[in-house]
């Protein structure tokens, strides 16, 4: 997330950004919370200049994150100070919107302290630092939030700090605690920042005067040297010494799950729901697959009580029909671009939801971001509403064999790419986050719930097909069910790996046989499941919660329920978790 115009008098601006109403009575709960929110928006961005640029606060564009113990202590002190100040606010006296923001802020502050003091990812995850290094330059160059020469000066200032930054990475990481898979991924990603320089910075050098151009070229040279030295350290020192366990264990998982999901659901309850949905969705896939199979083979007579193996075979046979429609290896981005236009036109014609006019561009995923997911939505920061959104798709690696390429394209066939585009762009992340960035409380936009964001995107995929998109094509429905099944297996696998010792072989069987995934997708997901924890559960839980909320709205509104009314109400409040969103959508009384 990124960008906004600079403005003098930041505290006054922060009061506006907080969504505070001028004229509140001094000493009231609203005034106290407005002041607290302003302090947070003023001081929090300085803790991570790279994140601040992503948010759209450009006061720190010429700084690079400080990773020293003193910096962590400053962050710890700030979080505790903010929590103590929040304790002094009479939250129950705030209007509902303020109570929601207060609850979000408390969860965020408590989560920050827990991650800093208990989870301590700063000591054992080198991948987060490759993301910081790459993002420090990418965030400055990707969007035109300021004149190009100004952004290039910030690039130079950050590149000059690379030697210090990477030295701090090496002194901060504790190699014995680093899991090998994290070290291997960092080795692959580290040089990605150099590709950003090559592709995004060097072609723009002509925008600078000769003297400034020389200074930037010198900074690039120093940064290259620092990155290459860091690469040598990663390969020769960190990788051989990386002995940490990527499994975080049940105790840490349960604690992190509470912060990640922002729900009362326990690990056992998530598993129980996911196991039930796993069986239900596979049966539904069989019913749809029969329709596809009967069209291919009209004379088929299906048994009244088909065995599990029989259902498996019919589903696979029907999926093979969908796999006939494949994009070419070099046409994945162009195919997604066409599908985005078609989905947008359908939503506009049906009037399903208010459409933003923010620009969106489909791009190849930057190298420093590759290796974790196939695609993502890179929306502008809350302070940059209206800037361009990037829907990034990872290219097929050049070193893949023809068999691996075929496996990938089968998984990301035309129907799957359409589902992916609905998830990442329209009506998924791009649409939802564009609305969220316009909510008056920028605090809420900064502290959005990943579970709600992912849940809305999966809901959007299903809703589109139910509304008639692709004219009831059973292959589209079958692939959509397969994608939802992926979210279910994600949740099952997430906790099974980190809490129950699930092996690679067991995970691959669940994905390949249980979820009908292709080998390349499953292999990549195994890596992702090791690199992350609890995030893979957000898709399933978020979808369940958004779907539950729609059922409640249908019951409460009766004949007054319409998709447009529900969607606009849900998207009108930023990205809070559903347990806080429910009262805002349904206008129920009481605290959130």
Q: Which residues contact 109 (CB under 8 A, 6 or more apart)?
A: 79, 82, 83, 86
SS3 of residue 375 by DSSP: strand
Give the integer Cα–Cα distance in Å for 538 and 531: 15
Written as six digits, the tokens of 171 are: 């002194």
Q: What are phi and psi of 389, to 5 degrees?
A: -100, 140
- pLDDT score of 590: 53
Q: What is the pLDDT of residue 534?
A: 97
- β-pair type (360-364, 375-378): unpaired
Helix/strand/coil for 65: coil
pLDDT tens-place values along the chain, 592 residues long: 322 323 322 223 333 334 443 334 445 999 999 999 999 999 999 999 999 999 999 999 999 999 999 999 999 999 999 999 999 999 999 999 999 999 999 999 999 999 999 999 999 999 999 999 999 999 999 889 999 999 999 999 999 999 999 999 999 999 999 999 999 999 999 999 999 999 999 999 999 999 999 999 999 999 999 999 999 999 999 999 999 999 999 999 999 999 999 988 899 999 999 999 999 999 999 999 999 999 999 999 999 999 999 999 999 999 999 999 998 888 888 899 999 999 999 999 999 999 988 888 888 777 666 655 677 888 888 777 677 888 888 777 788 888 888 888 888 899 999 999 999 999 999 999 999 988 888 899 889 999 999 999 999 999 999 999 999 999 999 999 999 999 999 999 999 999 999 999 999 999 999 999 989 889 999 999 999 999 999 999 999 999 999 999 999 999 999 999 999 999 999 999 999 999 999 986 555 6
Report the 3 state secondary structure along 338-372: HHHHHHHHHHHHHCCCCCCCCCEEEEECCHHHCCC
Q: What is the pLDDT of residue 118?
A: 98
The pLDDT, as a whole number, for residue 373 is 63
Contacts of 311 (CB under 8 A, 6+ apart): 282, 283, 286, 289
Please tell me the total number of residues recorded for the chain in this structure: 592
Which of 47, 66, 70 lies closest to 57 in space, CA to CA?
A: 47
Torsion of CA 33, 38, 43, 46, to 10 degrees: 130
The residue ranges of DSSP E strands in 81-180, in sequence order, are none
Q: What pLDDT, on a 0 to 100 scale, did the predictor assign at position 369?
A: 65
584 close to 573: Cβ distance less than 8 angstroms: yes
| Residues 162, 225: Cα–Cα separation, whole Å | 9
Q: Are the beta carbons of 387 and 2 closer than 8 angstroms?
A: yes
Backbone angles phi, psi at 266, to 5 degrees: -90, 170
Among 520, 475, 514, CA closest to 323: 475
Q: What pLDDT score was predicted for residue 573?
A: 95
Structure tokens at 13: 């601006």
pLDDT at 460: 98
Please give the pLDDT value at position 372.
Answer: 55
Predicted local distance difference test score (pLDDT) of residue 489: 98
- Res 24: pLDDT: 40
Give Cβ neighbours of residue 111 (< 8 Å, ≥ 6 apart).
Answer: 259
Beta-carbon-side half-sphere exposure of residue 273 (alpha carbons within 13 Å): 19
Q: Is 77 exposed, middle or buried (0-12, 13-18, 19+ CB in 10 A)?
A: exposed
What is the 8-class DSSP label of residue 58?
G
């Amino acid at each position: 997330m990124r960008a906004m115009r600079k403005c003098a008098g930041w505290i006054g601006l922060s009061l506006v950004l907080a969504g505070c109403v001028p004229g509140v009575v001094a000493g009231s709960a609203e005034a106290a919370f407005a002041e607290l929110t302003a302090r947070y928006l003023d001081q929090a961005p300085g803790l991570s200049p790279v994140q601040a640029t992503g948010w759209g606060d450009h006061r720190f564009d010429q700084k690079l994150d400080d990773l020293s113990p003193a910096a962590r202590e400053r962050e710890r002190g700030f979080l505790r100070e903010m929590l103590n100040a929040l304790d002094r606010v009479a939250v129950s006296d705030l209007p509902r919107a303020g109570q929601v923001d207060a609850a979000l802020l408390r969860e965020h502050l408590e989560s920050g302290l827990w991650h800093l003091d208990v989870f301590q990812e700063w000591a054992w995850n080198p991948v987060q630092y490759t993301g910081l290094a790459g993002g420090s330059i990418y965030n400055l160059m990707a969007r035109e939030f300021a004149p190009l020469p100004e952004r290039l000066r910030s690039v130079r200032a950050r590149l000059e700090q690379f030697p210090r930054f990477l030295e701090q990475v090496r002194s901060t990481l504790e190699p014995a605690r680093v899991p090998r898979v994290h070290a291997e991924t960092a080795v692959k990603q580290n040089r990605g920042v150099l590709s950003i320089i090559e592709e995004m910075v060097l072609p723009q050098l002509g925008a600078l005067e000769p003297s400034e151009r020389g200074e930037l070229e010198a900074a690039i040279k120093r940064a290259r040297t620092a990155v290459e030295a860091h690469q040598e350290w990663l390969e020769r020192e960190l990788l051989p010494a990386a002995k940490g366990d990527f499994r975080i264990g049940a105790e840490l998982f349960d604690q992190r799950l509470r912060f990640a999901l922002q729900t009362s659901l326990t690990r056992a309850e998530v598993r129980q729901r996911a196991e039930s949905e796993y069986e239900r969705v596979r049966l539904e896939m069989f019913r749809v697959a029969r329709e596809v199979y009967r069209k291919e083979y009209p004379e088929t007579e299906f048994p009244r009580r088909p065995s599990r193996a029989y259902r498996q075979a019919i589903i696979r046979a029907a999926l093979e029909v969908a796999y006939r429609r494949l994009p070419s290896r070099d046409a994945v981005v162009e195919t997604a671009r066409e599908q985005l236009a078609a989905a947008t036109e359908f939503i506009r014609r049906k009037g399903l939801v208010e459409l933003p006019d923010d620009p969106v561009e489909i791009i190849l995923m930057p190298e420093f971001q590759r290796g974790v997911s196939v695609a993502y939505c890179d929306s502008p920061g809350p302070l940059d509403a209206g800037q361009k959104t990037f829907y990034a798709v990872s290219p097929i690696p050049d070193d893949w064999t023809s068999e691996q390429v075929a496996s990938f394209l089968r998984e990301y066939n035309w129907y799957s790419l359409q589902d992916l585009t609905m998830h990442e762009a329209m009506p998924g992340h791009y649409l939802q986050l564009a609305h969220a960035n316009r909510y008056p409380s920028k605090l809420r936009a900064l502290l959005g719930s990943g579970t709600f964001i992912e849940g809305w995107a999966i809901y959007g995929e299903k809703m589109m097909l139910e509304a008639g998109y692709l004219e009831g094509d059973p292959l589209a429905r079958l692939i959509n069910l397969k994608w939802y099944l992926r979210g279910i297996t994600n949740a099952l696998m997430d906790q099974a790996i980190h809490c129950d010792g699930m092996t690679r072989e067991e995970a691959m069987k669940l994905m390949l046989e249980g979820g009908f995934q292709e080998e390349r997708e499953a292999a990549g997901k195994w890596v992702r499941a090791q690199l992350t924890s609890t995030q893979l559960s957000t898709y399933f839980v978020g979808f369940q919660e958004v779907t539950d909320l729609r059922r409640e709205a249908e019951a409460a509104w009766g004949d007054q329920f319409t998709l447009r009314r529900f969607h606009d109400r849900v998207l009108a409040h930023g990205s809070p978790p559903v347990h806080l969103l429910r009262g805002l959508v349904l206008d129920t009384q009481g605290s959130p």
